[in-house]
Amino acid sequence: MSLGTEQRPFDPTDLRATGSARWADPLFRTISFAAGISVLLVLGLMIGSTTLDALPVFQYQGLVSFFTTSEWNAGSSRNELTGTYGAFAFIYGTLISSLIAIMIALPLSIAVSLYINRIAPKRFRTTLAYTVELLAAVPSVVYGLWGLLSFTPAVLLPVSRFLSGYLGDVPVIGRIFEGPVPNTNYFIAGNVLAIMILPIITAIAREVMAQTPADQIDAAYGMGATDWEVMRKVILRRSFPGIVGASMLGLGRALGETIAVAMLIGGQQRWGISIFFAGQSMAGHIASTFQDAAPETVNALIAVGVGLFVITVIVNMLARVLVWRIGRVAGDAAL
Amino acid sequence: MSATLSPEREHLSLRTIDPYTRRRKQRSRFVRGLLLAAMVVAVIPLFLILIEVVRRGWPAMGWEFLTQVQPSGRTPGGGYVHGIIGTFYMVGFATLISVPVGILAAIYLVEYGRGPLTGIIRFFTDVMTGVPSVFVGLFIYALLVRQIGFGAFVGGLGLSVMMLPIIVRSSEEMLRLVPEDQRAASAGLGARKWQTIMKVVLPTAAPGLTTGAMLAVARAAGETAVLLLTALGSLQVVNQFQGQPIASITLLVYRGARQPFAEGQQRAWAGALFLMVMVLLLTLSARYISSRSRR
Amino acid sequence: MTDPDPESALDARPGLQKRTVYEMGTAPVSAEVGAAVFDVEHVDVRYGGNLAVRDISLRIPKGEITALIGPSGCGKSTLLRCLNRMNDLIDGASVEGSIFYHGENIYAPEVDPAEVRRRIGMVFQKPNPFAISIYDNVAFGPRLHGLKKGLDDRVEKALRQAALWDEVKDKLNDSGLALSGGQQQRLCIARAVALEPDVILMDEPASALDPISTLAIEDLMRQLRGHFSIVIVTHNMQQAARVSDRTAFFTVDMQKGIRVGELVEYDRTETIFTNAGDERTEAYITGRFG
């Protein structure tokens, strides 16, 4: 009975790949390698092309003057630089609104992470964590709309007026809370930014805290520690580097946030000490004035963008290094 | 050390608590309350946003909103059909680019990558997720828009740059979850590496890959700043691929919110409602798919 | 199998009168326990509604070493963690019955578990020093409870009691994690001792250590005997025989496919190991089972 296969003597070349098998694997490898490299390529191109456009502006205005003076007079030329480009007011606006955001969001995130990890009943933990994370899914233009037409008139403006009224006359620190309080300002942008970065910081802080070894927590409880003592002396102490990294990541997000800030920060191309000053941020200034900008001013805006990029990338890299050791966080909000 | 018994200690009742301990307990209870309050404060904004968007967007939402373009000035009625088309157009195009490239890049990192290059790609992918969207817009503008003008193509390209790192990161995570013995089993049957990847690794990771892609799509659909500098916006339906400014829902909401007319603002709320429904559907179903496949 | 009297009131405070707490063994050992530090009465433990330990009653004497032994899953660690209310930290764990500590029910509603744990120290299976200095590890408990006066002396005394002082006195500021496994476990004992507890609970304290470190821990336990009442859980019968005064033997009851831990026998260690009253105990001890 024949099985339909013919026995033939073994030929050593049988084990060699033939036909498509010969090139299919290397080809697939090359294609995926190209895709991997494309990430670096895009990033490189991004830095290269913008820097190329920004360089003449830095040269024209002077690098130091570009970042430290605050007079911005857009020129209207097609092919030469005629305006005055000092971006300090926008840098200040970016920093102050992000600072306000982090000052509000960081303690809140730590508290929420502790609550979810240590106090909430186990069966609610995932739901609570996910509810907070959903805040990261809300598009920034919706934050802007809601902030502008709903949250600000209903909550933030009354709070601002109250703060300004109470603290505006206090010596020294009064200047920070000085009125008048316009409808859009640093403080309002900072508050909405805080809500926007809350889910990012919470997602990472929660993950970091969850990695506290259970036996260390048991050891502290075993000595009669209270819940708060366990949180403070064991969990927070161990999670400190991760929480710093998380807040840096949140800070990076706040610095680069564009649309919501453009809608809420004020719009004046100047800066002021008061947190109720209607100023402008780097990203907000680019978004708000880009449409009407002459070619030379577009280059100046690109220069502002390069400055913003450098700041956010440094902050992000520091954050990644700090969060690195806890591994990459898979939460949706951290993306 | 001697083994003598220590002097008899008197047993103090567990209920006699010294003032110091009482203060510690009170502080702990106070902090627990504080943390609960923080939790409540943190979830309030989400509900406020959802309620406001539905309450103020619902009246303007309807067939007309989904099928008509925006009228000029303070005319009531009309809709965002040009924006809806523009968003689907550009997000669709961006997905077509970024999903294959992103998954292939993840395959490289997981299946082929070793040595310092992998680490570098991974690190800069992480860095890229943090690049401000307005900067991505400026980049596309400087590179392409000045030469070939505004349009759906450059808009979609900008969105794909935003989506790429998200897809690479989440796909990498998902590919890593495929057990090593599955790869070994496939190789043991004589499959080549690319066959193993295509027939075993990718199908196993499919739900996770879908989740990542959906989250990236949700992010792109809600993106405004990139489009402001690349698509610019338009008042009509545009179906040209490149060369003509095109609208998106987000651009229309952004401009509508700043209109001084109640009618324009109301359309912006309806646009926000449309966006929220779209983004939340994508996010929640992505979550559902991943949680079901993990079971 | 005889069930303990269901009529016995759970909240009855046991006096020092001789009475049989558990009637399984040949010699009701409680008759010989003079001063008890724990009176465990009809304790059931459930995890998420599933019975894990059924109807345990025993009296643990003061100033002695009591060993809880038995096969894995018999509930010996579960019972140990009831004695200082560590089980409270596990979601879904519930304890029925009463555990009297010096005649006071530690599960009474007004009792604060933190106060219980302060008096009843615990040493865990795996050495778990904090990632802080040796000194700070030992000072952790006293600082927690505001005992900041004479802290240096207290730390030194605790380290001496844990037979660690000579090895670490020159490097008190080094991290506790820099010590060897055996030293880490003695550091954890010092950390527990520093609070001057009345009882020390040890949950398989040597199971993660090498034989030499294990012997050092056993020596230490014998030294601490008398100063503290010690309850130790161990899976190592030789260890129980070497260090303990009394031994309680637990087993797993597999009735109806549910694994439930039960106390089989409780007696002087020498009695348990030479003349066990229950054949299951003897089978386990002679290695025929478990």
Q: What's the ipTM?
A: 0.94
* Mean pLDDT, residues A233-246 taken together: 93
User: Do A218 and C126 lie within an 8 Å CB cutoff?
Assistant: no
Q: Does C111 touch chain A (CB under 8 A)?
A: no
AA letter at A57: V
Report the distance separating Cα A189 and Cα A195, nearest Å: 10
Contact A223 C191 (CB under 8 A): yes
Give me the pLDDT at residue C276, please: 82
Residue A250 has pLDDT above 60, yes or no: yes
B63 contacts chain C (CB < 8 A)? no
pLDDT on residue A324: 67
Using the predicted structure, report yes or no on whether residue A21 has a pLDDT greater than 80: no
Cα end-to-end span (Å), chain A: 64
Closest-CA distance of chain C to residue B34, Å: 21
Q: Is C47 on the interface with A (CB under 8 A)?
A: no
Cα dihedral sign for B92, B94, B95, B100?
positive
Shortest alpha-carbon distance between residue C4 and chain A (Å): 32
Contacts of B2 (CB under 8 A, 6+ apart): none
Return the closest-CA partner of residue A192 out of A273, A138, A247: A138
**C62 contacts chain B (CB < 8 A):** no
* Cross-chain residue pair A29–B112, CB shorter than 8 Å: yes
User: Using CA atoms, how far apart are residues B132 and A281, in angstroms rounded to an integer?
Assistant: 13
Which residues on B lie below 8 Å from A312 (Cβ)? 130-132, 135
Residues 6+ apart with CB under 8 A from C195: A223, A224, C118, C121, C141, C142, C145, C147
Cβ-based neighbours of B180, under 8 Å, separated by 6 or more: none
Tell me the residue type at C245: D
Across the interface, which of A52, A142, A320 has its CB nearest the CB of B123?
A320
Measured distance CA(C274)–CA(C265) in Å, rounded:
13
Which pLDDT score, from 0 to 100, does residue B8 have?
Answer: 52
Return the percentage of chain B with pLDDT > 90, whole number: 79
Q: What angle do the packed helices B152-176 and B133-140 form, to 10 degrees?
A: 130
pLDDT 10s digits, C268-289 = 999 998 888 888 888 888 876 5
Rounded to the nearest angstrom, the minimum Cα separation between A46 and chain B is 5
Interface-testing mutation among C39, C65, C85, C112, with chain B (most B C-beta atoms within 10 A): C112
Residues A286, A309: contact at Cβ < 8 Å?
Answer: no
Per-residue pLDDT reduced to its tens digit, A255-314? 999 999 999 999 999 999 999 999 999 999 999 999 999 999 999 999 999 999 999 999
The whole-angstrom separation of Cα A223 and Cα C86 is 10
Q: Are B286 and B215 in contact (CB under 8 A)?
A: yes
Token match 């009792």: residue? C111
Judge contact between B185 and B176, C-beta under 8 A.
no
Helix (H/G/I), strand (E/B), else coil: A310: helix
Task: Assess contact for A101 and A254: CB atoms under 8 A.
Answer: yes
Please tell me which residue of chain C has the smallest CA distance to B8: C227
Closest CA of chain B from A172, distance in Å: 31
Q: Give chains near A: 3+ CB pairs under 8 A.
A: B, C
- Cβ atoms A134, B283 nearer than 8 A: yes
**What span, in angstroms and rounded, lies between the C-alpha atoms of B210 and B202?**
11
Query: C118 and A238: CB-CB below 8 Å?
Result: no
Encoded amino acid at A10, one letter: F
CB within 8 Å of chain C, chain A residues 215-244: 215-226, 229, 233-234, 237-238
How would DSSP label each residue in A222-262?
HTT--HHHHIIIIIIHHHHHHHHHHHHHHHHHHHH--HHHH
Q: How far is CA A104 from CA A144, A195, C241, in A?
A: 18, 9, 60
Q: Which of A128-132, B166-170, C7-11 has the lowest mean pLDDT?
A: C7-11
pLDDT for the residue numbered C286:
81
What pLDDT digit, counting tens, does each position of A174-213 carry? 999 998 999 999 999 999 999 999 999 999 999 999 999 9
Chain C hits for B14, CB-CB cut-off 8 Å, are 101, 104, 106, 111-112, 115-116, 119
Q: Which of A119, A138, A229 sits opposite B35 (nearest CB)?
A: A119
| pLDDT score at A332 | 42
- Residue pairs between chains A and C whose CB atoms are closer than 8 Å: 62
In angstroms, the CA C135 to CA C133 distance is 5
Domains contained in chain C, CATH given? 29-285 (3.40.50.300)
Contact yes or no for A31 and B104 at CB 8 A: yes
Residue C26 has pLDDT above 60, yes or no: no
Q: What pLDDT shows up at residue C289?
A: 54
What is the residue-averaged pLDDT of chain B?
91
CB burial class (10 A; 0-12, 13-18, 19+) of residue C208?
A: middle
The phi and psi torsions of A289 (rounded to 5 degrees) equal -110, -5
Contacts of A309 in chain B (CB under 8 A): 131-132, 135
Cβ <8 Å between A213 and C128 = yes
- Subunits with 3+ Cβ pairs within 8 Å of B are A, C
Give B6's contacts in chain C (Cβ within 8 Å): 226-227
pLDDT at A319: 87
Nearest-CA residue of chain A relative to C188? Answer: A219
Predicted confidence (pLDDT) at residue B18 exceeds the cutoff of 90: no
Contact A264, A101 (CB under 8 A): no
- Which helix (H) or strand (E) segment is C45 a member of? strand C36-47
CA B172 vs. chain centroid, Å, equals: 16
Q: In the structure, what pLDDT confidence band is assigned to residue B228 with cuts at 50, 70 and 90?
A: very high
* CB contact B40 to C (< 8 Å): no
Q: Which two tokens stand for residue B170?
A: 């989440």
Tokens of B1: 């050390």
DSSP string, B156-192: HHHHHHHHHHHHHHHHHHHHHTS-HHHHHHHHHTT--
- Judging contacts by C-beta atoms under 8 Å, the chain A residues touching residue B258 are 148, 263
What pLDDT does residue A22 have? 74
Measure the CA dihedral B135/B137/B141/B145, to 10°: 170
Q: Do B14 and C145 touch (CB under 8 A)?
A: no
- Residue B68, Cβ density class (10 Å: 0-12 exposed, 13-18 middle, ≥19 buried): middle
Residue A85 pLDDT > 80: yes
Q: Integer distance in angstroms from the first to the last C-alpha of chain C? A: 20
Interface membership of A119 toward C (CB under 8 Å): no
Q: Is the pLDDT of residue A9 over 90?
A: no
Asked if C114's CB is within 8 angstroms of A224's CB, the reply is yes
**pLDDT score of A32 more than 90:** yes
At residue C114, φ and ψ (nearest 5 deg) are -60, -40
* E strand segments, A87-172: none
- The answer to whether residue C3 scores a pLDDT higher than 70 is no
Q: Which residues on A lie below 8 Å from C144 (Cβ)?
A: 220, 223-225, 229, 233
- Alpha-carbon distance of B230 to A44, in angstroms, equals 20
Give the whole-number percent of chain B exceeding pLDDT 70: 96
Per-residue burial over A82-108, b = 16 or more CB atoms within 10 Å of its CB, e = otherwise: ebebbbbbbbbbbbbbbbbbbebbbeb
Q: Which residue in the set A25, A35, A143 is minimally distant from B194, CB to CB? A: A25
User: Which site among B2, B14, B17, B32 would you substitute to test the C interface, given the most C Cβ atoms closer than 10 Å to its Cβ?
Assistant: B14
Contact B35, B244 (CB under 8 A): no
Q: What is the pLDDT of residues C171-189, one digit of tens each?
A: 999 999 999 999 999 999 9
How would you class C85 by CB atoms within 10 Å of its CB: exposed for 0-12, middle for 13-18, buried for 19 or more? buried
- Which residues of chain C make contact with B10, given a CB cutoff of 8 A? none
Q: How close A285 gets to chain B, by Cα (Å)? A: 10
Q: pLDDT digit string (tens) for C196-246?
A: 999 999 999 999 899 999 999 999 999 999 899 999 999 888 899 999 999
Neighboring chain C residues of B16 at a CB cutoff of 8 Å: none
Q: Say if the Cβ atoms of B3 and C115 lie within 8 Å.
A: no
- Token readout for B254 is 């952004």
Residues with Cβ within 8 Å of C20's Cβ and at least 6 positions away in sequence, in order, are C28, C30, C31
The identity of residue C67, as a single letter, is: A
Residue C198, min C-alpha distance to chain B (Å): 9
Could you give the 3-state DSSP secondary structure of residue B4?
A: coil
| Model confidence at A335: pLDDT above 50 | no
Asked whether residue A84 carries a pLDDT value surpassing 80, the answer given is yes
**What is the pLDDT, as a whole number, of residue B294?**
65
Contact of C250 with C74, CB cutoff 8 Å? yes
How far C278 CA sits from the closest chain B CA (Å)?
Answer: 33
Q: Which domains does chain B possess?
A: 63-294 (1.10.3720.10)
Instruction: Please name each of the domains of chain A with its CATH number.
Output: 84-334 (1.10.3720.10)
| pLDDT for position A19 | 67
CB contact under 8 A, B5 and C63: yes
Q: Given a cut of 90, is residue B73 above it in pLDDT?
A: no
Indicate whether C123 pLDDT > 70. Answer: yes
pLDDT category at B5 given cuts 50, 70, 90 is: very low
* Option in C102, C106, C161 nearest B11 (CB): C102
Cβ burial, residue B284 (10 Å; 0-12/13-18/19+): middle
Rounded CA gap, B268 and B95, in Å? 26
CB contact at 8 A, C134 and C155: no
Contact (CB<8Å) B9/C145: no
How many residues does this entry show for chain A?
A: 335
**Facing B28 at nearest CB: one of A36, A228, A252:** A228
Interatomic CA distance for residues A261 and A147, integer angstroms: 10
Residue A197 contacts by C-beta under 8 Å, 6 or more apart in sequence?
A101, A102, A105, A250, A251, A253, A254
Residue A18 has what pLDDT? 67
Chain C hits for B5, CB-CB cut-off 8 Å, are 63, 226-227
Partner-chain contact C130 A216, CB within 8 Å = yes
Percent of chain A with pLDDT strictly greater than 90: 80
Given the structure tokens 């046991």, which residue do they identify?
C14
Q: Report whether pLDDT(C157) > 70.
A: yes
Q: Which of B4, B6, B14 sits opposite C104 (nearest CB)?
A: B14
